[in-house]
Structures are given as C-alpha cells and as structure tokens.
Amino acid sequence: MKRSVWNLRPLFEDDSDPRMEERRKIVEKKSYEFIRKWKDRRDYLVDPAVLRKALDEYEEWNRYYGADGDEGYYFMLRTQQDQNDPKLKANYNRIEEFSHRIQNDIQFFHIRISKIPRTRQKMFLRQKGLKPYRHYLERLFAESRFLLSEAEEKILTLKAPTSYSNWVRMTSGFLAKEEREILSEDGGKSLRNFSEILSLMNSPSRRVRDSGAKAFNEIMRKHSDVAEAELNAILANKKTDDTLRRMDRPDLGRHVSDDIESGIVDALIGTVLERFPIAARYYELKAGLLGVKLLKYHERNVEYGRITGQYSFAKSAGIIRKVLRRLDAKFADIFAAFLDNGFIDALPRQGKASGAFCAHHLISQPTYILLNHTGKFNDVLTLAHEVGHGINNELMKEKQNALNFGSPLSTAEVASTFMEDFVLQELLREADDELRLAVLMNKLNDDVSTIFRQAACYRFEQELHQAFRQKGYLAKEEIGAIFRKHMAAYMGDFVEQSPGSENWWVYWGHIRHFFYVYSYASGLLISKSLQNSVKENPRFIEKVKDFLSAGSSESPRNIFEGLGIDIAETSFWDRGLDEVENLLQETETLARRLGKIR
C-alpha cells in the first residue's frame, strides 16, 4: 500500500496538464468522424455485415473516448476531492457542456438501430457475426417500443432541466442551506447544518437525538409547501413522458432501462411485503433492548450497544485482503492492485466529499474508490462494500466489450454486499457476546432498511403516481398520508408514527428518481443467495465470478438461469428473506441468553 490519496496520473498529471486540450480535441475529432461517417447512411440498418462494422467503431468510441474522454472523469473525481474549489467546478461544468453537445449529436445511432423493423430485428439477432453485441441489440429493440422520433427525443432531453432537474435541485438546495441550534452531548447548544442534524438523530443521547428530530421536523414543515409544488411538477412531467411513450404503468420505464421484467420486480416486492412481520419483530426487539415501549419514528436507526475497537486503514485492508484471498485469489489480487496503484482515497479531509463510492467511467480507465475512513468498525465494512463494486468492475473489464460494460441496476449491489457480509463474518469471529449482539443488531438494521423499507418506499411511489394520475394534484397532506401508511406497514406496532413524520418524504431523494429503490432489496437478497451457495460449496465461487464478469451481456434473468436460479419465482426471494429471519432469531436468542429481554 503506497498511498492513501488517489493517483490520478493514469488520467492527467494535474489540473493544468497541457495534454487536456489536446485530448479534448481528439475526443471531438473521433466523435464527429463517427457522426459524419454514419449519420447520413442507412445501410447498417439492413446489412448485418455493415452493422457489425458500425458497432465495432461505436464500441471503440465508447471504449477510448466517449463524449468527454479522460478529462470528464478526471474533473469529476477532482471535484469529489475538493468540493469547494470554484476552478474545479468551472472545469467540470465546461467539460460537461462539451459532453452534452456530443451526446445529443451522436444519439441518432442507437435510436435508428432501435427503430429497425421487428422482422429484420430477428434476422440481426440470429447473425453469428453480431453475437458480441446480441444483447446490446436486444436492449435497444426492447426500448424501441417506447422511443419517439429523433427530433422528439431531443425535445424531451432539452426540456428535462426545466421540467424535472431544476425542480429537484430547488428543494434539495433549500434543505442544504438550513442550519439549527442543536443540543450537544455536553448539554450546550451548537449550530449544525442539515447533514449534521440528520446524523444527530441517531445520537446515543436521547436528549440530543430528540433535539435533532425537533429541528429536522421544523425544516420539513417549513419546506413542505415548496416540496408539494415540486413533487406535483415532476409527477406531471413523468405522466406526460409516459403518455408520449405509451407506457401503461409508471414504473415500466425503470424496468425497461434496468433490463428486468416487470413481473420479476412485482414478485420481489410482493414477497417482501408478505414478510413485513420480520421487520416488525426487529423493531420490537430493538425497543426491548433500549428499554422503551415504543421507538419514536426518528429512533429507528439508533445503534444498540457500543461497537468499540479501532481499525486503521492498513489494519482494515489486511482483514479484507485475508477474506478475499480465502474466497478467491483473483479477488485479493484486484484489491492489492487498487492499493498499490493508488486507486483508493481513504482518509477524510476538509472539502472532500462525504460518504463513500466506487467510480468507473470508460472501460479503458481505472476504477477509483473514495472513502472517509475514521477507524471505526463500520468503516471496515464500507471499505469491503466499495471494494466489492471495484472487483465487479475489473472482472467485467476482462470479459466484456464497452457496450456490455456495467451492471444492470437490479444487480448492481450484489458484489458489494457479497464482499461486505463475508468481511462481517470475519470480524465476528473474535467478538464476545456483548459485541456480537451489538453487531448483529446493526446488521439487522441495515437489512431491514435495505429490504423492507425500500419495498415500502416502492409501494409508496406506486400509490403516489396512481393517486396523482387520478386527481391531477396532491396536497402535501395527501402525500403525507400515503407516505405514513406505507412506512407504518413495515414498521409494525413498536415504532410510533410520531408527529412530523408525515413530512419526511420532503427530503427523500429516492422518490425523485422514480422506482429505483427496488434494486437495494434485489441486490441484497440475490447476494444472500450467492453467499449461501458458496458456504455450502466453496467451488460455487467460480459461478459467482462468472456472474460478476457478465456485465450487461445478458439480462439478469438469463444470467441467473445459467447459475440454476430463477429470480422470477417468489420462492427465490423467500429464501433470502429466510436468511434475515434466521439472523433475527439468532439475535433474539442471544439477547435472551444475556438477560437483555425476556
């Protein structure tokens, strides 16, 4: 491990690297060479051999250039390292504008391919010469039913900022400016920003978290009128788009773009809804452990117990390397390369983006991981989670072309949760009973939030869109009533729907991105299935690697059928939920044995 800050030299030496302008010109040259060559031609739409040549050139463009090349990726990463530098923001905005122009000019290519008549589509899909791009073509043909003309698609793209993006940014921008005086651990008061207020609602001190909740509810109430107008505006925009595209259900666009059948998502959500009593039991257990009859709404995520111990970044990396080596040597080698090449920015710094993520862009570029590692227990799991994403990226690079690079949203969280859970099991090996109980409660909290809460949110979204389309406008009170109904459904009788909770939809960004929350549940439940298979037969890791290498070369359903798994069956999702219930049973038994509950 040579460094804990990103080495961006595979992209550029620094922010003023003179090669930037030269490479931007190359991107522009290659982009418009492709556009000029194919824009006025139609032979690739009828001749498989010509289509193969066109797709090979398009794949090369996507592999090495894209619409923004190395410069777009570089400045995206730099703005995450220093969010307060106006020069970085300006450079990133400039390359984004450059990129949008190219994207608009080149989008004719996939639109025209998608519009190939159905009889000819079948002929193209049978061609051996087009096999590397077969599923890419299948995805385009599936989307074609809902695409408009080239001119109309450009209009929809151009209206998106005013009809959608600007509304969403308005609400989030108002919230980000909020500050309030909050009680501190020492009994005094201090001015806290919106992110800090969110965090303080999980404080071990009830006085502090109640103070945070009071401030948070005030902020939600203050901005509820604006959020009402915003949400109705983007719901109306979504309805218009769906009507133009002839989509018969509000979530269909999400399913088409995610390459997953609506029936599979319906089976997932329906199965999770049937198992909501698991989440209710968890909250009953937490209330008992915290010594209260009811948890307040904002107390759902308060940690039980104290998870102590310090895990430096080097120590954390050593634990993860050992776990990965046990699973498969290839996993450990990829992680070692991330460390040795400086592709992980590990430690917090002023101006650096909060949280953690794993970034990739073009298939020819490195994977970069951002962390804010402070040495806590959960930081080890966060590192494992992001490394899982990174391993997924690198395995895809080895097997896929640039048009099949990337995981469908429905399976994007599989690799991350797979690696994270195996690392958690390693950390529990040396834990005493008290620490084990705290860790298991923390794990259950994550599982409940990832699976049950997101399924409830999905149902909330479905009813929200349906109600809007029936009434034409929803008052904030109506939105709040629908929201509270679905949140109460999974929380059960041991979480109070406290005053103010009816406005918590105001800040929930997920619902502005329309129906993607199912992917959290699908990713974790699929991961649990794969984990079980590996535990039963360590050789199954080879099939896991095949899955992680598949990218978007096949639909998720077909990929899993190759592993002998049918994700359209409710029994598949039930098996993953059984694992959560078994973990809950183990935790309840441990709590009783320690005399924490009766």
- Residue-wise pLDDT for 352-370, tens only, equals 888 899 999 999 999 999 9
Contact between 68 and 98 under an 8 Å Cβ cutoff? The reply is yes
Rama region for 259: left / alpha / beta (φ>0; ψ in -120 to 50; rest): left
For the cut 90, the answer to whether the pLDDT of residue 464 exceeds it is yes
Distance, CA of 596 to CA of 588 (rounded, Å): 9
> Comparing 161-170, 209-218, 509-518, which segment has the lowest mean pLDDT?
161-170
CA angle 58, 63, 65 (to 5 degrees): 85
Cα-flanking dihedrals φ and ψ of residue 181, to 5°? Answer: -80, 125
pLDDT top residue among 440 and 309: 440
Phi, psi for residue 126 in degrees, rounded to 5: -85, -10
What pLDDT shows up at residue 337? 97
User: How far are the Cα atoms of 15, 210, 420 from residue 95, in angstroms, in the given order?
Assistant: 13, 45, 35
Percent of the chain with pLDDT over 90: 81
Residues 6+ apart with CB under 8 A from 41: none
Q: Provide the pLDDT confidence category of residue 422 given band limits of 50, 70 and 90.
A: very high
Q: Which amino acid is it at 542?
A: E
What pLDDT shows up at residue 246?
Answer: 94
- Quick: pLDDT tens for 6-57: 999 999 999 999 999 999 999 999 999 999 999 999 999 999 999 999 999 9
Phi first, then psi, for residue 370 (nearest 5°) are -110, 135
| Residues 441 and 289 sit within 8 Å (Cβ to Cβ) | yes
pLDDT tens for 65-90 read 999 999 999 999 999 999 888 999 99
Q: What is the pLDDT of residues 94-127, one digit of tens each?
A: 999 999 899 989 999 999 999 999 889 999 999 9
The residue-averaged pLDDT of 560-578 equals 91
For residue 498, the model assigns a pLDDT of 92
Report the chain's mean pLDDT, rounded to a whole number.
94
Alpha helices in 260-413 (DSSP H): 262-274, 276-290, 313-327, 329-341, 377-399
Architecture of domain 19-145: Up-down Bundle (1.20)
Q: What is the model's pLDDT at position 2? A: 55
pLDDT at 3: 62
Q: What are the tokens at 137?
A: 């073509």
- What ranges in 342-399 are assigned the alpha helix state H? 377-399
For 337-348, what is each residue's pLDDT tens digit?
A: 999 999 999 999
Instruction: Please give the residue that has the higher pLDDT: either 277 or 562.
Output: 277
pLDDT digits (tens, 9 = 90+) for 540-558: 999 999 999 999 999 999 9
C-alpha span between 246 and 148 (Å, rounded): 10
359, β-bridge pairs: 368
Q: What is the pLDDT of residues 147-200, one digit of tens each?
A: 888 888 888 888 888 898 889 888 988 888 899 999 987 778 888 888 888 888
Q: What was the pLDDT predicted at 373?
A: 94
pLDDT of the residue at 352: 84
pTM greater than 0.75 (yes/no): yes
